[in-house]
Amino acid sequence: MAKKTAQAPSETFTGFTPYEIKKGEDYMSADMLQHFKDLLLDWKQELMEEVDRTMHHMQEDAANYADPSDRATQEEEFSLELRTRDRERKLIKKIDKTIDRIDKDDYGFCDQCGVEIGIRRLEARPTATLCIDCKTLAEIRERQTGI
């Protein structure tokens, strides 16, 4: 039986072109917001296509193997794929919330301190809601408290 491994949720996307900041351009201008909205929509589309591929794979490859080891291997493979898709489902929800923030002109600024998150950080993680300093502090607190 050929074993196919489940992939981790895509934390990045393909076909990405960095935003070229124009001289004198304001932070989170209409062009910048559109760039991030397009980026998020493309990412969401890639995730949705992966969900479709998984569904077809599970339907096509579902077999009732006589050998218990083969059955167990297949069940484990499907379980891993379903867990991965569940993480991607949560990521899609996060992408939708981020697109909503863009539509409400509430994107690109830290939820805690209000400073600019930064173009390059947002390109690396478009769903970021904290600047790097606040995120670092949150991670330190998390490690210290175990929450």
Helices (H), the chain: 30-61, 68-103, 119-124, 132-145
pLDDT of residue 13: 59
> What is the rounded CA–CA span in Å between residue 62 and residue 37?
37
The answer to whether residues 122 and 103 belong to one domain is: no
Nearest to 5 by CA among 56, 45, 65, 57: 57
Kindly report the CATH number assigned to the domain that includes residue 82: 1.20.120.910
Identity of the residue numbered 44: K
The answer to whether residues 92 and 63 belong to one domain is: yes
The answer to whether residues 99 and 117 belong to one domain is: no
* 19 found inside a domain: no
The answer to whether residues 39 and 70 belong to one domain is: yes
The number of folded domains in the chain is 2
The answer to whether residues 93 and 80 belong to one domain is: yes
pLDDT of residue 67: 80
The answer to whether residues 85 and 97 belong to one domain is: yes
CA of residue 34 relative to chain centroid, distance: 18
71 three-state secondary structure: helix
Q: Is 62:10 a contact under the CB 8 Å cutoff?
A: no
Ranges under pLDDT 50 in the chain: 1-10
* 18 found inside a domain: no
The answer to whether residues 131 and 62 belong to one domain is: no
* 66 found inside a domain: yes
* 12 found inside a domain: no
**What's the token pair of residue 60?**
């096509």
* 85 found inside a domain: yes
Kindly report the pTM of this predicted structure: 0.77
pLDDT of residue 1: 39
Give residue 129's domain range: 108-147
The answer to whether residues 114 and 142 belong to one domain is: yes
Q: Is 57:81 a contact under the CB 8 Å cutoff?
A: yes
